[in-house]
Amino acid sequence: MKMLLTILGGLIVVGLPQAVHSQSALSADANAAVQIAEARKANAALMRQYTWNSRTEIIDQGQVKDTRIELVNCAPDGQLQRSLLNDQSAPMPRGFLRRDIAEKKKKELEQYLTGLRGLLEQYTLPTTGKILDFMMSARTMGPDANGSLQMTGQNVVMPGDSLTMWIDARTRHPRRIQVNTTFQGDPVELTATFNTLPSGLNYVAYSEAMVLAKQLSVQMQNFDYTRPN
Question: Is the residue at 168 inside a domain?
Answer: yes
Nearest to 55 by CA among 69, 35, 45: 69
Please check whether residue 102 lies inside any domain of the structure.
Answer: yes
Is the CB of residue 157 less than 8 Å from the CB of residue 180?
no
Identify each DSSP E strand in the chain by its residue range: 51-60, 63-74, 80-89, 139-141, 148-154, 162-168, 174-183, 186-196, 202-211, 216-226
In a domain, 218, yes or no: yes
pLDDT classification of 29: cutoffs 50, 70, 90: low
Look at residue 136 and tell me if it is in a domain: yes
Say whether 97 sits in a helix, a strand or coil: helix
Say if CB 12 and CB 202 are below 8 A apart. Answer: yes
Q: What is the pLDDT of residue 162?
A: 95
Structural domain that includes position 143: 23-223
**Residue 103 falls inside a structural domain:** yes
Q: Average pLDDT, whole number, for the chain?
A: 77
Q: What is the reported pTM? A: 0.77
Number of domains in the chain: 1
16 located within any domain: no
Higher model confidence: residue 67 or residue 99? 67
Closest CA to 121 of 75, 58, 188, 202: 188
User: Of the candidates 141, 103, 138, 142, which has an alpha carbon nearest to the alpha carbon of residue 123?
Assistant: 138
Instruction: Choose between 7 and 162: higher pLDDT.
Output: 162
Residues 6+ away with beta carbon under 8 Å from 169: 142, 143, 147, 148, 149
Half-sphere exposure in the Cβ direction for 135 (13 Å, CA): 26
Q: 198, exposed or middle or buried, with CB in 10 Å at 0-12, 13-18, 19+?
A: exposed
**Per-residue model confidence (pLDDT) at position 36:** 67
Averaged pLDDT, 22-37: 60
In a domain, 14, yes or no: no
The pLDDT value given to residue 179: 94
Report the distance separating Cα 8 and Cα 182, nearest Å. Answer: 18
Q: What is the pLDDT of residues 193-224, one digit of tens each?
A: 999 999 999 898 999 999 999 899 988 999 99
pLDDT tens digits, residue range 169-182?
A: 777 778 899 999 99
Q: What percent of the chain has pLDDT over 70?
A: 76
The residues, ordered by sequence, that sit 6+ positions from 176 with a Cβ below 8 Å of its Cβ are 165, 166, 191, 192, 193, 194
Q: Alpha carbon 201 to chain centroid distance?
A: 16
Higher per-residue pLDDT: 90 or 186: 186
Of 162 and 167, which is predicted with more confidence? Answer: 162
Q: Give a yes or no: residue 10 inside a domain.
A: no
Structure confidence at residue 6 (pLDDT): 39
Distance CA 146, CA 152 (A): 18
